[in-house]
Chains A and B, each alone.
Chain A
Protein backbone atom coordinates (compact mmCIF):
# COMPACT_ATOMS: atom_id res chain seq x y z
CA UNK A 1 0.00 0.00 0.00
CA UNK A 2 1.15 3.50 -0.82
CA UNK A 3 0.43 5.77 2.08
CA UNK A 4 0.55 9.54 1.82
CA UNK A 5 0.12 11.17 5.21
CA UNK A 6 -0.18 14.91 5.93
CA UNK A 7 2.22 15.86 3.19
CA UNK A 8 3.03 19.56 2.83
CA UNK A 9 5.30 20.85 0.07
CA UNK A 10 6.19 24.27 -1.26
CA UNK A 11 8.22 25.92 -3.98
CA UNK A 12 9.87 28.88 -2.30
CA UNK A 13 7.00 30.76 -0.72
CA UNK A 14 4.29 29.10 -2.82
CA UNK A 15 2.61 26.19 -1.09
CA UNK A 16 2.04 23.48 -3.69
CA UNK A 17 0.52 20.82 -1.44
CA UNK A 18 -1.33 21.62 1.78
CA UNK A 19 -1.67 18.65 4.07
CA UNK A 20 -2.45 15.83 1.63
CA UNK A 21 -3.45 12.37 2.84
CA UNK A 22 -4.68 9.33 0.94
CA UNK A 23 -3.73 5.73 0.24
CA UNK A 24 -3.38 3.67 -2.94
CA UNK A 25 -4.14 -0.06 -2.83
CA UNK A 26 -1.74 -2.67 -4.16
CA UNK A 27 -2.59 -4.03 -7.62
CA UNK A 28 -5.02 -1.20 -8.28
CA UNK A 29 -4.96 1.90 -10.43
CA UNK A 30 -5.43 5.01 -8.34
CA UNK A 31 -5.81 8.21 -10.28
CA UNK A 32 -5.07 11.68 -9.03
CA UNK A 33 -7.03 14.20 -11.04
CA UNK A 34 -7.48 17.95 -10.89
CA UNK A 35 -6.89 21.11 -12.86
CA UNK A 36 -3.56 22.54 -13.89
CA UNK A 37 -1.60 23.69 -10.85
CA UNK A 38 -3.49 21.47 -8.41
CA UNK A 39 -0.18 19.96 -7.29
CA UNK A 40 -0.47 16.61 -9.06
CA UNK A 41 3.00 16.54 -10.58
CA UNK A 42 4.54 17.81 -7.36
CA UNK A 43 2.99 14.85 -5.57
CA UNK A 44 4.62 12.35 -7.93
CA UNK A 45 7.95 14.18 -7.74
CA UNK A 46 7.81 13.90 -3.94
CA UNK A 47 7.14 10.17 -4.09
CA UNK A 48 10.00 9.49 -6.50
CA UNK A 49 12.40 11.69 -4.52
CA UNK A 50 12.90 14.45 -7.09
CA UNK A 51 11.45 17.01 -4.66
CA UNK A 52 11.63 17.29 -0.91
CA UNK A 53 8.52 17.67 1.23
CA UNK A 54 8.29 20.29 3.97
CA UNK A 55 6.57 17.84 6.31
CA UNK A 56 4.51 14.67 6.32
CA UNK A 57 5.21 11.03 5.51
CA UNK A 58 5.16 8.82 2.42
CA UNK A 59 5.36 5.05 2.82
CA UNK A 60 5.50 2.36 0.16
CA UNK A 61 4.86 -1.15 1.53
CA UNK A 62 5.75 0.07 4.98
CA UNK A 63 9.04 1.70 3.99
CA UNK A 64 9.47 5.44 4.22
CA UNK A 65 10.34 7.21 0.95
CA UNK A 66 10.73 10.80 2.10
CA UNK A 67 14.31 11.97 2.28
CA UNK A 68 15.59 9.19 0.00
CA UNK A 69 17.23 9.93 -3.34
CA UNK A 70 15.49 9.03 -6.62
CA UNK A 71 18.31 6.55 -7.28
CA UNK A 72 17.47 4.62 -4.10
CA UNK A 73 13.72 4.90 -4.52
CA UNK A 74 13.91 3.19 -7.95
CA UNK A 75 15.70 0.31 -6.24
CA UNK A 76 12.75 0.03 -3.85
CA UNK A 77 10.48 -0.77 -6.80
CA UNK A 78 9.04 2.68 -7.46
CA UNK A 79 9.32 3.85 -11.07
CA UNK A 80 8.35 7.35 -12.17
CA UNK A 81 7.44 8.30 -15.74
CA UNK A 82 7.57 12.09 -15.60
CA UNK A 83 5.46 14.47 -17.61
CA UNK A 84 6.17 15.16 -21.27
CA UNK A 85 7.15 11.74 -22.63
CA UNK A 86 10.47 11.87 -20.83
CA UNK A 87 12.88 9.98 -23.03
CA UNK A 88 16.44 10.93 -23.92
CA UNK A 89 16.11 12.05 -27.52
CA UNK A 90 19.75 11.67 -28.69
CA UNK A 91 19.90 8.06 -27.48
CA UNK A 92 18.44 5.15 -29.44
CA UNK A 93 15.22 3.42 -28.45
CA UNK A 94 17.17 0.36 -27.29
CA UNK A 95 19.53 2.53 -25.23
CA UNK A 96 16.63 4.32 -23.55
CA UNK A 97 15.16 0.99 -22.52
CA UNK A 98 18.50 -0.46 -21.45
CA UNK A 99 19.08 2.63 -19.31
CA UNK A 100 16.09 1.74 -17.14
CA UNK A 101 17.68 -1.56 -16.19
CA UNK A 102 21.31 -0.45 -15.88
CA UNK A 103 21.24 -0.44 -12.09
CA UNK A 104 20.46 -4.15 -12.00
CA UNK A 105 22.19 -5.16 -15.24
CA UNK A 106 25.00 -6.97 -13.47
CA UNK A 107 23.17 -8.55 -10.55
CA UNK A 108 20.17 -9.69 -12.56
CA UNK A 109 21.39 -10.20 -16.09
CA UNK A 110 18.87 -12.84 -17.14
CA UNK A 111 15.87 -11.05 -15.75
CA UNK A 112 16.89 -7.82 -17.46
CA UNK A 113 16.95 -9.63 -20.80
CA UNK A 114 13.54 -11.08 -20.01
CA UNK A 115 12.12 -7.70 -18.98
CA UNK A 116 13.39 -6.04 -22.16
CA UNK A 117 11.82 -8.83 -24.21
CA UNK A 118 8.54 -8.29 -22.38
CA UNK A 119 8.32 -4.56 -23.11
CA UNK A 120 9.06 -5.22 -26.78
CA UNK A 121 6.21 -7.70 -26.73
CA UNK A 122 3.99 -5.08 -25.07
CA UNK A 123 4.95 -2.40 -27.59
CA UNK A 124 6.07 -4.14 -30.81
CA UNK A 125 6.52 -0.78 -32.53
CA UNK A 126 9.44 -0.05 -30.24
CA UNK A 127 11.19 -3.24 -31.27
CA UNK A 128 10.80 -2.29 -34.94
CA UNK A 129 12.44 1.03 -34.17
CA UNK A 130 14.97 -0.04 -31.60
CA UNK A 131 17.97 1.33 -33.47
CA UNK A 132 16.33 4.68 -34.23
CA UNK A 133 17.03 7.73 -32.10
CA UNK A 134 14.27 8.33 -29.56
CA UNK A 135 13.95 11.88 -30.88
CA UNK A 136 12.61 10.58 -34.18
CA UNK A 137 9.63 8.82 -32.59
CA UNK A 138 6.04 10.06 -32.61
CA UNK A 139 4.52 11.36 -29.37
CA UNK A 140 2.71 8.12 -28.68
CA UNK A 141 5.81 6.02 -29.31
CA UNK A 142 7.81 8.24 -27.00
CA UNK A 143 5.28 7.73 -24.24
CA UNK A 144 5.47 3.97 -24.82
CA UNK A 145 9.25 4.25 -24.64
CA UNK A 146 9.15 6.26 -21.42
CA UNK A 147 6.85 3.65 -19.87
CA UNK A 148 9.07 0.81 -21.12
CA UNK A 149 12.11 2.51 -19.60
CA UNK A 150 10.27 2.43 -16.26
CA UNK A 151 8.94 -1.12 -16.66
CA UNK A 152 12.33 -2.78 -17.21
CA UNK A 153 13.27 -1.75 -13.67
CA UNK A 154 10.54 -4.26 -12.60
CA UNK A 155 8.63 -1.78 -10.49
CA UNK A 156 5.94 -2.72 -8.01
CA UNK A 157 4.63 0.86 -8.07
CA UNK A 158 4.40 2.82 -11.31
CA UNK A 159 3.93 6.59 -11.19
CA UNK A 160 2.52 7.94 -14.45
CA UNK A 161 2.41 11.68 -15.01
CA UNK A 162 -0.06 12.81 -17.69
CA UNK A 163 0.54 9.98 -20.17
CA UNK A 164 -2.28 11.35 -22.34
CA UNK A 165 -0.69 14.77 -22.78
CA UNK A 166 -0.70 15.76 -26.44
CA UNK A 167 -1.64 12.32 -27.72
CA UNK A 168 -4.47 11.22 -30.00
CA UNK A 169 -7.36 9.60 -28.10
CA UNK A 170 -6.81 6.27 -29.83
CA UNK A 171 -3.17 6.15 -28.74
CA UNK A 172 -4.12 7.15 -25.20
CA UNK A 173 -6.62 4.34 -25.06
CA UNK A 174 -4.07 1.83 -26.29
CA UNK A 175 -1.50 2.89 -23.68
CA UNK A 176 -4.00 2.96 -20.84
CA UNK A 177 -5.38 -0.46 -21.77
CA UNK A 178 -1.86 -1.89 -21.78
CA UNK A 179 -1.25 -0.51 -18.30
CA UNK A 180 -4.57 -1.86 -17.07
CA UNK A 181 -3.77 -5.31 -18.45
CA UNK A 182 -0.37 -5.17 -16.73
CA UNK A 183 -2.03 -4.36 -13.40
CA UNK A 184 -4.29 -7.35 -13.70
CA UNK A 185 -1.63 -9.80 -14.89
CA UNK A 186 1.29 -8.77 -12.67
CA UNK A 187 -0.26 -7.07 -9.64
CA UNK A 188 1.43 -3.78 -10.52
CA UNK A 189 0.20 -0.80 -8.51
CA UNK A 190 -0.31 2.36 -10.53
CA UNK A 191 -0.64 5.97 -9.45
CA UNK A 192 -1.92 7.81 -12.50
CA UNK A 193 -1.91 11.59 -12.59
CA UNK A 194 -4.21 13.02 -15.22
CA UNK A 195 -5.79 16.23 -16.32
CA UNK A 196 -8.04 14.23 -18.59
CA UNK A 197 -10.37 13.13 -15.77
CA UNK A 198 -12.81 11.23 -17.91
CA UNK A 199 -10.22 8.87 -19.39
CA UNK A 200 -8.48 8.46 -16.04
CA UNK A 201 -11.65 7.64 -14.10
CA UNK A 202 -12.86 5.19 -16.72
CA UNK A 203 -9.80 3.01 -16.22
CA UNK A 204 -8.97 3.62 -12.54
CA UNK A 205 -10.26 1.74 -9.49
CA UNK A 206 -10.01 4.69 -7.20
CA UNK A 207 -9.99 8.47 -7.66
CA UNK A 208 -8.42 11.28 -5.68
CA UNK A 209 -9.41 14.80 -6.66
CA UNK A 210 -6.94 17.59 -5.93
CA UNK A 211 -7.79 21.26 -6.05
CA UNK A 212 -5.20 23.97 -5.36
CA UNK A 213 -3.08 21.66 -3.23
CA UNK A 214 -5.82 19.96 -1.20
CA UNK A 215 -7.74 16.70 -1.48
CA UNK A 216 -11.39 17.55 -2.11
CA UNK A 217 -12.65 14.04 -2.90
CA UNK A 218 -11.29 10.52 -2.32
CA UNK A 219 -13.61 7.73 -3.48
CA UNK A 220 -14.01 4.77 -5.85
CA UNK A 221 -13.59 5.87 -9.44
CA UNK A 222 -17.07 4.86 -10.69
CA UNK A 223 -18.67 6.87 -7.85
CA UNK A 224 -16.57 9.90 -8.64
CA UNK A 225 -17.38 9.55 -12.31
CA UNK A 226 -21.09 9.56 -11.56
CA UNK A 227 -20.97 12.57 -9.25
CA UNK A 228 -22.15 15.36 -11.51
CA UNK A 229 -21.91 18.03 -8.80
CA UNK A 230 -18.22 17.24 -8.25
CA UNK A 231 -17.60 17.19 -11.97
CA UNK A 232 -19.12 20.55 -12.65
CA UNK A 233 -17.47 22.15 -9.62
CA UNK A 234 -13.91 20.95 -10.21
CA UNK A 235 -13.54 19.33 -13.59
CA UNK A 236 -15.60 21.66 -15.72
CA UNK A 237 -17.65 19.23 -17.75
Chain B
Protein backbone atom coordinates (compact mmCIF):
# COMPACT_ATOMS: atom_id res chain seq x y z
CA UNK B 1 0.00 0.00 0.00
CA UNK B 2 2.76 2.39 1.00
CA UNK B 3 4.67 1.53 -2.17
CA UNK B 4 1.62 2.40 -4.25
CA UNK B 5 1.20 5.81 -2.63
CA UNK B 6 4.89 6.56 -2.99
CA UNK B 7 4.70 5.55 -6.63
CA UNK B 8 1.70 7.77 -7.24
CA UNK B 9 3.45 10.72 -5.63
CA UNK B 10 6.60 10.17 -7.62
CA UNK B 11 4.51 9.86 -10.77
CA UNK B 12 2.63 13.07 -10.04
CA UNK B 13 5.74 15.14 -9.37
CA UNK B 14 7.53 13.82 -12.43
CA UNK B 15 4.34 14.21 -14.41
CA UNK B 16 4.15 17.85 -13.34
CA UNK B 17 7.59 18.45 -14.83
CA UNK B 18 6.72 16.60 -18.05
CA UNK B 19 3.57 18.70 -18.23
CA UNK B 20 5.71 21.85 -18.21
CA UNK B 21 7.94 20.49 -20.97
CA UNK B 22 4.92 19.51 -23.04
CA UNK B 23 3.33 22.91 -22.41
CA UNK B 24 6.45 24.61 -23.74
CA UNK B 25 6.46 22.45 -26.85
CA UNK B 26 2.77 23.02 -27.54
CA UNK B 27 3.09 26.80 -27.10
CA UNK B 28 5.69 27.00 -29.85
CA UNK B 29 3.92 24.45 -32.02
CA UNK B 30 0.64 26.37 -31.88
CA UNK B 31 2.26 29.77 -32.15
CA UNK B 32 4.80 29.10 -34.87
CA UNK B 33 4.09 25.63 -36.28
CA UNK B 34 7.52 24.39 -35.22
CA UNK B 35 8.47 21.43 -33.02
CA UNK B 36 11.32 22.91 -31.03
CA UNK B 37 13.87 20.20 -30.30
CA UNK B 38 16.20 22.80 -28.83
CA UNK B 39 13.78 23.48 -26.00
CA UNK B 40 15.47 21.40 -23.30
CA UNK B 41 18.85 22.57 -24.57
CA UNK B 42 17.68 26.08 -23.73
CA UNK B 43 16.48 24.81 -20.34
CA UNK B 44 19.82 23.06 -19.70
CA UNK B 45 21.62 26.30 -20.48
CA UNK B 46 19.54 28.40 -18.11
CA UNK B 47 19.82 25.75 -15.39
CA UNK B 48 23.62 25.88 -15.75
CA UNK B 49 23.43 29.65 -15.34
CA UNK B 50 21.42 29.16 -12.12
CA UNK B 51 23.82 26.51 -10.89
CA UNK B 52 26.82 28.79 -11.52
CA UNK B 53 25.15 31.64 -9.64
CA UNK B 54 24.43 29.36 -6.68
CA UNK B 55 28.02 28.09 -6.66
CA UNK B 56 29.18 31.72 -6.65
CA UNK B 57 27.17 32.21 -3.47
CA UNK B 58 23.95 33.84 -4.66
CA UNK B 59 20.69 32.64 -3.13
CA UNK B 60 18.49 29.96 -4.65
CA UNK B 61 15.59 32.28 -5.43
CA UNK B 62 17.77 34.87 -7.13
CA UNK B 63 19.28 32.14 -9.32
CA UNK B 64 15.81 30.70 -9.91
CA UNK B 65 14.45 34.01 -11.25
CA UNK B 66 17.54 34.71 -13.34
CA UNK B 67 17.24 31.24 -14.90
CA UNK B 68 13.63 31.91 -15.86
CA UNK B 69 14.63 35.25 -17.39
CA UNK B 70 17.48 33.58 -19.30
CA UNK B 71 14.96 30.99 -20.52
CA UNK B 72 12.68 33.74 -21.83
CA UNK B 73 15.53 35.61 -23.49
CA UNK B 74 16.96 32.47 -25.10
CA UNK B 75 13.52 31.59 -26.45
CA UNK B 76 13.10 35.04 -27.95
CA UNK B 77 16.62 34.95 -29.42
CA UNK B 78 15.99 31.57 -31.08
CA UNK B 79 12.93 33.05 -32.74
CA UNK B 80 14.40 36.41 -33.72
CA UNK B 81 17.83 35.20 -34.83
CA UNK B 82 17.00 31.87 -36.44
CA UNK B 83 13.33 31.08 -36.97
CA UNK B 84 12.12 34.45 -38.24
CA UNK B 85 14.81 34.81 -40.93
CA UNK B 86 14.31 31.16 -41.94
CA UNK B 87 10.58 31.49 -42.46
CA UNK B 88 10.66 34.91 -44.12
CA UNK B 89 9.05 35.00 -47.52
CA UNK B 90 11.98 36.43 -49.41
CA UNK B 91 13.75 33.11 -48.85
CA UNK B 92 11.12 31.43 -50.97
CA UNK B 93 13.84 30.27 -53.36
CA UNK B 94 15.56 28.11 -50.77
CA UNK B 95 12.39 26.98 -49.08
CA UNK B 96 10.30 26.64 -52.19
CA UNK B 97 7.70 24.09 -51.07
CA UNK B 98 5.41 24.09 -48.06
CA UNK B 99 6.92 20.88 -46.78
CA UNK B 100 10.39 22.42 -46.84
CA UNK B 101 9.11 25.51 -45.09
CA UNK B 102 7.72 23.27 -42.35
CA UNK B 103 10.78 21.02 -42.06
CA UNK B 104 13.71 23.43 -42.17
CA UNK B 105 12.93 25.21 -38.87
CA UNK B 106 12.68 21.83 -37.10
CA UNK B 107 16.10 20.80 -38.43
CA UNK B 108 17.38 24.21 -37.40
CA UNK B 109 16.11 23.58 -33.85
CA UNK B 110 18.19 20.37 -33.76
CA UNK B 111 21.17 22.47 -34.83
CA UNK B 112 20.51 24.94 -32.04
CA UNK B 113 20.36 22.06 -29.57
CA UNK B 114 23.80 20.93 -30.75
CA UNK B 115 25.23 24.43 -30.48
CA UNK B 116 23.82 24.94 -26.97
CA UNK B 117 25.13 21.59 -25.74
CA UNK B 118 28.60 22.22 -27.14
CA UNK B 119 28.61 25.73 -25.74
CA UNK B 120 27.61 24.46 -22.31
CA UNK B 121 30.39 21.87 -22.59
CA UNK B 122 32.91 24.57 -23.43
CA UNK B 123 31.81 27.01 -20.76
CA UNK B 124 31.15 24.59 -17.91
CA UNK B 125 33.61 21.86 -18.94
CA UNK B 126 30.79 19.35 -19.23
CA UNK B 127 31.14 18.49 -15.57
CA UNK B 128 28.21 16.79 -13.90
CA UNK B 129 26.87 18.92 -11.13
CA UNK B 130 24.29 18.43 -8.49
CA UNK B 131 21.62 21.07 -8.17
CA UNK B 132 20.19 22.22 -4.87
CA UNK B 133 16.56 22.29 -3.83
CA UNK B 134 15.02 25.29 -2.08
CA UNK B 135 13.35 23.05 0.51
CA UNK B 136 14.29 19.75 2.07
CA UNK B 137 14.25 16.72 -0.20
CA UNK B 138 14.09 14.06 2.45
CA UNK B 139 10.76 12.51 3.27
CA UNK B 140 8.42 14.57 5.39
CA UNK B 141 7.80 13.07 8.81
CA UNK B 142 4.56 14.34 10.30
CA UNK B 143 3.68 12.78 13.68
CA UNK B 144 6.81 10.67 13.62
CA UNK B 145 5.66 8.63 10.62
CA UNK B 146 7.46 8.74 7.27
CA UNK B 147 5.20 10.28 4.64
CA UNK B 148 5.49 9.06 1.05
CA UNK B 149 6.68 12.43 -0.24
CA UNK B 150 9.25 15.11 0.41
CA UNK B 151 8.84 18.84 0.86
CA UNK B 152 10.46 19.28 -2.53
CA UNK B 153 7.77 17.06 -4.12
CA UNK B 154 5.13 19.34 -2.65
CA UNK B 155 7.09 22.35 -3.83
CA UNK B 156 7.12 21.01 -7.41
CA UNK B 157 3.40 20.32 -7.38
CA UNK B 158 2.57 23.77 -5.99
CA UNK B 159 4.86 25.57 -8.45
CA UNK B 160 3.49 23.68 -11.45
CA UNK B 161 -0.12 24.14 -10.31
CA UNK B 162 0.49 27.88 -9.92
CA UNK B 163 2.09 28.03 -13.36
CA UNK B 164 -0.89 26.30 -14.92
CA UNK B 165 -3.36 28.61 -13.21
CA UNK B 166 -1.43 31.71 -14.27
CA UNK B 167 -1.10 30.43 -17.84
CA UNK B 168 -4.81 29.67 -18.05
CA UNK B 169 -5.74 33.10 -16.70
CA UNK B 170 -3.31 34.73 -19.11
CA UNK B 171 -4.85 32.99 -22.11
CA UNK B 172 -8.46 33.43 -21.05
CA UNK B 173 -8.49 36.86 -19.47
CA UNK B 174 -5.91 39.09 -21.12
CA UNK B 175 -5.82 40.77 -24.51
CA UNK B 176 -2.38 39.39 -25.25
CA UNK B 177 -3.64 35.89 -24.40
CA UNK B 178 -6.51 36.36 -26.85
CA UNK B 179 -4.04 37.64 -29.47
CA UNK B 180 -1.91 34.53 -28.96
CA UNK B 181 -4.86 32.18 -29.31
CA UNK B 182 -6.12 34.01 -32.41
CA UNK B 183 -2.66 33.93 -34.00
CA UNK B 184 -2.36 30.20 -33.35
CA UNK B 185 -5.82 29.43 -34.71
CA UNK B 186 -5.97 31.69 -37.75
CA UNK B 187 -2.99 33.93 -38.48
CA UNK B 188 -4.66 35.59 -41.46
CA UNK B 189 -7.75 36.77 -39.59
CA UNK B 190 -5.49 37.74 -36.69
CA UNK B 191 -3.38 39.96 -38.95
CA UNK B 192 -6.48 41.50 -40.51
CA UNK B 193 -7.60 42.33 -36.97
CA UNK B 194 -4.40 44.29 -36.47
CA UNK B 195 -2.59 41.74 -34.29
CA UNK B 196 1.15 41.93 -34.92
CA UNK B 197 1.62 38.22 -35.25
CA UNK B 198 5.40 38.13 -35.45
CA UNK B 199 5.62 39.84 -32.04
CA UNK B 200 3.03 37.45 -30.67
CA UNK B 201 5.11 34.53 -31.96
CA UNK B 202 8.26 35.80 -30.32
CA UNK B 203 6.31 36.04 -27.08
CA UNK B 204 5.21 32.40 -27.49
CA UNK B 205 8.86 31.42 -27.81
CA UNK B 206 9.74 33.40 -24.69
CA UNK B 207 6.93 31.92 -22.59
CA UNK B 208 7.83 28.46 -23.81
CA UNK B 209 11.42 29.21 -22.75
CA UNK B 210 10.23 30.11 -19.25
CA UNK B 211 8.13 26.94 -18.93
CA UNK B 212 10.96 24.67 -20.03
CA UNK B 213 13.53 26.44 -17.85
CA UNK B 214 11.20 25.94 -14.92
CA UNK B 215 11.02 22.25 -15.83
CA UNK B 216 14.83 22.16 -15.93
CA UNK B 217 15.15 23.76 -12.50
CA UNK B 218 12.63 21.35 -10.98
CA UNK B 219 14.01 18.15 -12.50
CA UNK B 220 17.79 18.60 -12.18
CA UNK B 221 17.97 18.07 -8.40
CA UNK B 222 16.98 14.47 -9.07
CA UNK B 223 18.89 14.00 -12.31
CA UNK B 224 22.21 15.85 -11.98
CA UNK B 225 23.16 18.51 -14.47
CA UNK B 226 25.21 17.83 -17.57
CA UNK B 227 24.83 19.15 -21.13
CA UNK B 228 22.80 16.07 -22.13
CA UNK B 229 20.76 15.33 -19.00
CA UNK B 230 17.58 16.91 -20.22
CA UNK B 231 17.47 15.07 -23.56
CA UNK B 232 15.43 12.25 -22.09
CA UNK B 233 13.08 14.74 -20.46
CA UNK B 234 12.47 16.26 -23.88
CA UNK B 235 11.62 12.86 -25.33
CA UNK B 236 9.11 12.17 -22.58
CA UNK B 237 7.74 15.72 -22.78
CA UNK B 238 7.34 15.41 -26.54
CA UNK B 239 5.55 12.09 -26.14
CA UNK B 240 3.28 13.76 -23.56
CA UNK B 241 2.50 16.57 -25.98
CA UNK B 242 1.67 14.12 -28.77
CA UNK B 243 -0.45 11.97 -26.44
CA UNK B 244 -2.41 15.07 -25.39
CA UNK B 245 -2.82 16.31 -28.96
CA UNK B 246 -0.05 18.58 -30.10
CA UNK B 247 -2.28 21.61 -30.46
CA UNK B 248 -4.05 21.44 -27.12
CA UNK B 249 -2.64 23.19 -24.05
CA UNK B 250 -4.78 21.31 -21.50
CA UNK B 251 -4.04 18.11 -23.44
CA UNK B 252 -0.31 18.60 -23.07
CA UNK B 253 -0.67 19.04 -19.33
CA UNK B 254 -2.85 15.94 -18.91
CA UNK B 255 -0.46 14.03 -21.20
CA UNK B 256 2.43 15.02 -18.94
CA UNK B 257 0.72 13.71 -15.81
CA UNK B 258 -0.37 10.48 -17.53
CA UNK B 259 3.18 9.75 -18.64
CA UNK B 260 4.61 10.64 -15.23
CA UNK B 261 2.29 8.13 -13.56
CA UNK B 262 2.88 5.50 -16.25
CA UNK B 263 6.66 5.77 -15.88
CA UNK B 264 6.48 5.59 -12.09
CA UNK B 265 4.25 2.53 -12.16
CA UNK B 266 6.43 0.70 -14.69
CA UNK B 267 9.56 1.67 -12.77
CA UNK B 268 8.32 0.26 -9.51
CA UNK B 269 6.10 -2.64 -10.51
CA UNK B 270 7.75 -3.90 -13.69
CA UNK B 271 11.32 -2.87 -14.30
CA UNK B 272 13.17 0.39 -14.96
CA UNK B 273 14.49 -1.23 -18.13
CA UNK B 274 11.01 -1.40 -19.61
CA UNK B 275 10.10 2.25 -19.18
CA UNK B 276 10.85 3.35 -22.72
CA UNK B 277 9.28 0.24 -24.21
CA UNK B 278 6.13 1.00 -22.24
CA UNK B 279 6.21 4.62 -23.43
CA UNK B 280 6.48 3.50 -27.03
CA UNK B 281 3.63 1.01 -26.70
CA UNK B 282 1.47 3.62 -25.00
CA UNK B 283 2.25 6.21 -27.66
CA UNK B 284 1.43 3.75 -30.45
CA UNK B 285 -1.84 2.79 -28.77
CA UNK B 286 -2.88 6.43 -28.48
CA UNK B 287 -1.89 7.15 -32.07
CA UNK B 288 -3.83 4.14 -33.35
CA UNK B 289 -6.96 4.74 -31.27
CA UNK B 290 -6.97 8.56 -31.30
CA UNK B 291 -4.59 9.75 -34.01
CA UNK B 292 -5.07 13.41 -33.13
CA UNK B 293 -4.15 12.79 -29.49
CA UNK B 294 -6.47 12.50 -26.51
CA UNK B 295 -7.41 16.17 -26.55
CA UNK B 296 -7.19 17.09 -30.22
CA UNK B 297 -9.10 20.34 -30.52
CA UNK B 298 -12.35 19.71 -32.30
CA UNK B 299 -12.38 21.09 -35.79
CA UNK B 300 -15.63 22.94 -36.38
CA UNK B 301 -16.50 22.50 -39.99
CA UNK B 302 -16.79 25.61 -42.11
CA UNK B 303 -20.02 25.51 -44.04
Contact = CB atoms under 8 A, between A and B. Distances in A.
Contacts of B185: 88-91
B194 A102 contact: yes
A50 B298 CA distance: 27
| Residue of B181, B192, B298, B300 most packed against chain A (CB within 10 A) | B192
Interface residues of B, number: 22
Contact-residue bracket for chain A: 35 or more
A15 B175 CA distance: 40
B194 A98 contact: no
B163 interface: no
B182 interface: yes
A139 interface: yes
Contacts of B189: 82, 86-88, 99, 149
A36 interface: no
B191 interface: yes
Interface in A98-130: 98-100, 102-106
B188 interface: yes
Nearest to A166: B303
Contacts of B97: none
B197 interface: yes
Contact of B192 (A79, A105, A133, A166): A79
Interface stretch (A69-77, A171-179, A198-206, A212-220): A69-77
A71 B186 contact: no
B264 interface: no
Contacts of B266: none
Given A82-B188, A88-B186, A153 B193 contact: yes
**Interface residues of B: mostly helix, strand, loop or mixed?**
helix
A95 interface: yes
A185 B196 CA distance: 31
Contacts of B179: 99, 102
Q: Is the contact region of chain A dominated by helix, strand, or loop, or is it mixed? A: mixed
B194 A75 contact: yes
Contact of A71 (B197, B297, B300, B303): B197
A71 B302 CA distance: 25
Contacts of A99: 178-179, 182, 189-190, 193, 195
Contact of A103 (B194, B297, B302): B194
Interface of B: 175, 178-179, 181-182, 185-186, 188-197, 297-298, 300, 302-303
Given A91-B178, A99-B189, 18 more contacts: A70-B192, A71-B196, A74-B194, A82-B188, A84-B302, A85-B302, A86-B186, A88-B185, A88-B186, A88-B190, A90-B298, A98-B175, A102-B175, A102-B178, A102-B193, A102-B195, A150-B192, A153-B193
Interface of A: 48, 50, 69-71, 74-75, 79-80, 82, 84-91, 95, 98-100, 102-106, 133, 135-136, 139, 149-150, 153, 166
